[in-house]
Amino acid sequence: MNDFDGKVAIVTGATTGIGEGIAEELCQRGATVIITGRRLASVEQTARRMDPTGQHVIPMESDVRDHLSVKALVDNTVEKFGGLHMLVNNAGITGPHNVNICNYSIDDWNDVINTDLSGTFFGLKYGIPAILRSGGGAIVNLSSSNGIVGIPGIAPYTAAKHGVLGLTRSAALEFADKGIRINAVGPGYVETPHMQALPVEAREWMASTHPMKRMATRAEVAKTVAFLLSDESSFTTGAYYAIDGGYTAQ
């Protein structure tokens, strides 16, 4: 399927994990994909692995915590490739685990909120005008199962992912009649390289929290994101798609 031929996409935080899987899916469907991360060497390594030709996956350094860095990312993309049609605000961190609100440090709170929530806002702020100038397109924001439920011990992450849904819905309404669709996805636990490095007992517990008794694959998340970016979801905006094996249906 080459339904993204001629389209330019940005996927933030795509050096590994879910972002890498999304970028790979978009590339396979014909898009030119700009992948980003805070460390250019890591982004370049991922780009070479994904696309040895260097023609379809383009590495760019960007720190989503810095609005000027995000603006530069969008401006450079438009300058080099003539436009922007798709944006995936994927970059995110969970922060420390098993820490209650009273003990959570201010620095850790700021790091999670600035990355997960402000980073998504900056992507929308600078990405939407570029997509409008390119004739319209679609955006997918990465929320989480934590975006609609609470989990103790990671309050900043939970708050940020709830906030991502608020941004998604507000932006979707603001631009619904202007040619941009904006949706969010909410993965549960996903079988990423980071997860695979955890002890077997931890992975088994994570899988057991899903009614389907397994984690999602990166491909399952990526295909849902690609669907929401594609014309197959042309009447869908402001939506939240759970990819959690039934976790939030319990």
Token pair in block for residue 140: 């997918």
104 is catalytic: no
Give me the residues paired with residue 32 across strands: 8
Distance CA 226, CA 88 (A): 10
Largest interatomic CA distance in the chain: 50
How far, in Å, are 56, 60, 195 from residue 41 at the CA level? 18, 10, 23
In this structure, the dihedral spanned by the alpha carbons of residues 15, 53, 138 and 233, taken in order and rounded to 10 degrees, is -100
Burial of 102 (0-12, 13-18, 19+ CB in 10 A): exposed
**109, 160 contact by CB (below 8 A):** no
**244, 210 contact by CB (below 8 A):** yes
Provide the 10 A C-beta neighbour count for residue 45. 15
- Catalytic residue among 157, 189, 241, 247, which? 157
**125, 167 contact by CB (below 8 A):** no
Helix (H) or strand (E) holding 180: strand 180-187
User: So which residues are the catalytic ones?
Assistant: 157
